[in-house]
C-alpha cells in the first residue's frame, strides 16, 4: 500500500502546503506520470485540478520527466533535475527515478492548475504561515 507526502503549490500566491496521503487517496496517484492532471479531492481540494510536477523516493533520488517508467536509472546529466554542475561543461552520471509514480515514491510535488476559490481556505490553513 502506498503513502506519500504531497506538496501542493499554489502558483497564484506562491505558497505551498504539505499533506500526507494514504490508502485509496494515494492509490489515485499510482501509475500516473509527471505532467498528468489528477483530481484534487485526493489531498482535500475538492473542485480543484492538480498537475504532477515531480517527486522523489525515500532516499532523495528525484523523478525526471525524460526517464520512462518507475525504476531507477543511471543517466549522464549536464544539469537540470538531479544534478547541478559546479562549472560549465561538466557532466556526471547520476541515478534518478523515472517519471511514473510507484510505491517507491515518498514525496510528490503537484501544482494547482484549475479550481475556484482559495487553496489555503480549502486546505484549512487559514492565515497561518505556509510551509516552504
> Is 17 a residue whose pLDDT tops 60?
yes
> At 102, phi and psi to the nearest 5?
-135, -175
For residue 132, what pLDDT is reported? Answer: 46
In a domain, residue 132? The reply is no
Question: Are residues 61 and 95 in contact, defined by beta-carbon separation less than 8 angstroms?
Answer: yes
In a domain, residue 130? The reply is no
Domain count, the chain: 1
In a domain, residue 124? The reply is no
What DSSP assignment string belongs to 59-123?
A: T-PBB-TTS-SSSEEEEEESSSTT---SSTT--EEEEEE-SB--TTEEEEEEEEEE-SS-HHHHH
> At 32, which helix (H) or strand (E)?
none
For residue 128, what pLDDT is reported? Answer: 47
For residue 3, what pLDDT is reported? Answer: 84
> Is 130 a residue whose pLDDT tops 70?
no
Q: Each residue of 34-66: pLDDT tens digit? A: 999 998 888 888 888 999 999 999 999 999 999
In a domain, residue 125? The reply is no
In a domain, residue 60? The reply is yes
In a domain, residue 90? The reply is yes
For residue 126, give the 3-state DSSP assignment. Answer: coil
Average pLDDT over residues 102-117: 89
For residue 1, what pLDDT is reported? Answer: 55
In a domain, residue 122? The reply is no
For residue 53, give the 3-state DSSP assignment. Answer: strand
Task: Identify the residue whose cell numbers are 476559490.
Answer: 117
> Domain of 26?
3-117
In a domain, residue 13? The reply is yes
Position 126 confidence tier, pLDDT thresholds 50, 70, 90: low
Amino acid at each position: 500500500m502506498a503513502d506519500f507526502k504531497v506538496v501542493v503549490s499554489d502558483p497564484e500566491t506562491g505558497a505551498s502546503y504539505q499533506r500526507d496521503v494514504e490508502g485509496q487517496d494515494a492509490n489515485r496517484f499510482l501509475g500516473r506520470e509527471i505532467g498528468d492532471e489528477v483530481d484534487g479531492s485526493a489531498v482535500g481540494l475538492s473542485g480543484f485540478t492538480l498537475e504532477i510536477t515531480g517527486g522523489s523516493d525515500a532516499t532523495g533520488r528525484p523523478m525526471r520527466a525524460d526517464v520512462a517508467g518507475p525504476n531507477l536509472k543511471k543517466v549522464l546529466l549536464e544539469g537540470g533535475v538531479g544534478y547541478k554542475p559546479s562549472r560549465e561543461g561538466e557532466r556526471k552520471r547520476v541515478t534518478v527515478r523515472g517519471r511514473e509514480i510507484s510505491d517507491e515514491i515518498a514525496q510528490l510535488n503537484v501544482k494547482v492548475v484549475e479550481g475556484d476559490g482559495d487553496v489555503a481556505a480549502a486546505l484549512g490553513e487559514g492565515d497561518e504561515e505556509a510551509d516552504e
